[in-house]
Amino acid sequence: MKRKVTLKQIAKELDVSISTVSKSLRNSLEISEDTRQKVQAFAKLYNYKPNNIALSLKNKKTKTICIIIPEIIHHFFATVISGVEHIANENGYNVLVCLSDESFDKEVINMEMLANGSIDGFIMSLSKETQSKKDFHHIVEVINQGMPVVMFDRVTNDILCDKIIIDDEHAAYNATQYLIDKGLKNVALITTIDYVSVGKLRTDGYKKALKNNDLIVDESLILKIEDIDNFEPQIEELLKTKKINAVFAVNEIFAATTIKLAHKLNIKVPEQLSIIGFTDGIISKYSTPGITTVSQNGVKMGEKAAKMLIERLESEENEEEEHYRTEVIETELVERDSTL
């Protein structure tokens, strides 16, 4: 077991100074061709690699960015990570992944723990709890320390920073309009509780579409799911008691579950019930029938977020202006077989 070799050890072996070794390896002209060759050969032989931690300390840059997400099991977040990782890697950055588990405390702990030089910047999507508490002091603090933060998807207006979002309201509007255009007038909405920013926006879009088509918004057709672990009965109830011919679900789990329940209740999809989901997940793709859905393009969001963060990191040296941007990623309606 040969431990890692350091500059000091090479210097000692070759009976030169540490500076000489360092310069030789960086091919400085200050050092004679002869010495350079000797040092480089020796370094190669012993497989010398500079210690990253030491470099980080010296440069005050870790070349690591952290992404904080509520959960990784969620396919959308996985795709975002994938996008972030690619761009980061291309630019020589590593990616630290932290999960908040939708908990405010974990989010705070993670941020405080890493804001001490461990990383260069954050990419994050707020936890549900944070959104409901509306307490963002931990984020403000980090930003005030001069560490750039890019928020995506679940963002808040209370914080000034770069943001990547999709136009949730507009996307929901389009999805609802799509259903209406098919002649479906009784569209139910299955959504989350309001404090989840995207849930609220999508609900707004749904309502707006109805109104613009002179349809009345029937609140009893809007199902707000609170308990993510036990919502089937509510949907079943909706399908049984209400006269609907279409459902717009704000995520793919709700959409897939609706299909399953429709099947159970002998309601034919899409003949009797059209269903549109949200998110570009694998569930929608591999489900039978395939689910028509609003694609969020998580990969692109991740890529864009990483680009913005890295751009800010690299330009920061020149102490540039603090002009924050909010980028909107376009969504796309992927038509499959769950709609007429």
> Interface with DNA includes 46 (CB under 7 A)?
no
H/E stretch holding 24? helix 18-25
> Interface with a copy of itself includes 259 (CB under 8 A)?
yes
Among 12, 17, 325, 330, binds DNA (CB under 7 A): 17
- Start-to-end C-alpha separation, the chain: 66
> Interface with DNA includes 20 (CB under 7 A)?
yes
> Interface with a copy of itself includes 99 (CB under 8 A)?
yes
Among 79, 174, 245, 279, binds a copy of itself (CB under 8 A): 79
For residues 287 and 276, the answer to whether their CB atoms sit within 8 Å is: no
The number of beta carbons lying within 10 Å of the beta carbon of residue 222 is: 15
Token pair listed for 153: 């998807």
> Interface with DNA includes 48 (CB under 7 A)?
yes
CB of 218 to a copy of itself, least distance (A): 27
CB of 137 to DNA, least distance (A): 21
> Interface with DNA includes 57 (CB under 7 A)?
yes
For residues 65 and 96, the answer to whether their CB atoms sit within 8 Å is: yes
C-alpha–C-alpha distance, residues 120 and 147, integer Å? 7
> Interface with a copy of itself includes 94 (CB under 8 A)?
yes
Radius of gyration over alpha carbons of the chain, in Å? 26
Amino acid at 146: G
For residues 305 and 259, the answer to whether their CB atoms sit within 8 Å is: no
- Is the CB of 54 or the CB of 328 nearer to DNA? 54
Partner interacting with residue 156 (select from a copy of itself, DNA, none; CB below 5-8 Å by kind)? none
Among 42, 50, 215, 222, binds DNA (CB under 7 A): 50
C-alpha–C-alpha distance, residues 328 and 163, integer Å? 8
Which residue stretch of 15-23, 181-189, 260-268, 292-300 sits at the interface with DNA (rule: CB under 7 A)? 15-23
> Interface with DNA includes 23 (CB under 7 A)?
yes
> Interface with a copy of itself includes 64 (CB under 8 A)?
yes
Q: What are phi and psi of 334, to 5 degrees?
A: -90, 115
Strand partners, 192: 225
> Interface with a copy of itself includes 193 (CB under 8 A)?
no
Amino acid at 8: K
Among 13, 30, 90, 112, binds a copy of itself (CB under 8 A): 112
Amino acid at 211: K
- What track of x and - describes contact with DNA for positions 291 through 320 (by CB under 7 A)? ------------------------------
Token pair listed for 300: 């692109």
C-alpha–C-alpha distance, residues 5 and 49, integer Å? 8
H/E stretch holding 332? strand 332-334
H/E stretch holding 256? helix 252-264
- Is the CB of 55 or the CB of 160 nearer to DNA? 55
In the three-class reduction of DSSP (H, G, I as helix; E, B as strand; rest coil), residue 316 is classed as: helix
> Interface with DNA includes 45 (CB under 7 A)?
no
Among 7, 21, 98, 235, binds a copy of itself (CB under 8 A): 98
Torsional class of 210: left (φ above 0), alpha (ψ -120 to 50), beta (otherwise): alpha
> Interface with DNA includes 115 (CB under 7 A)?
no
> Interface with DNA includes 26 (CB under 7 A)?
yes
Residue numbers of the site for a copy of itself (CB under 8 A)?
1-4, 47, 49-54, 56-57, 62, 64, 71-73, 75, 78-79, 81-82, 85-86, 89, 94-99, 106, 112-118, 141, 144-146, 252-253, 256-257, 259-260, 263, 282-283, 286-290
Residue numbers of the site for DNA (CB under 7 A)?
4, 6-8, 15-20, 22-23, 25-26, 29-35, 48-51, 54-55, 57-58, 60, 117
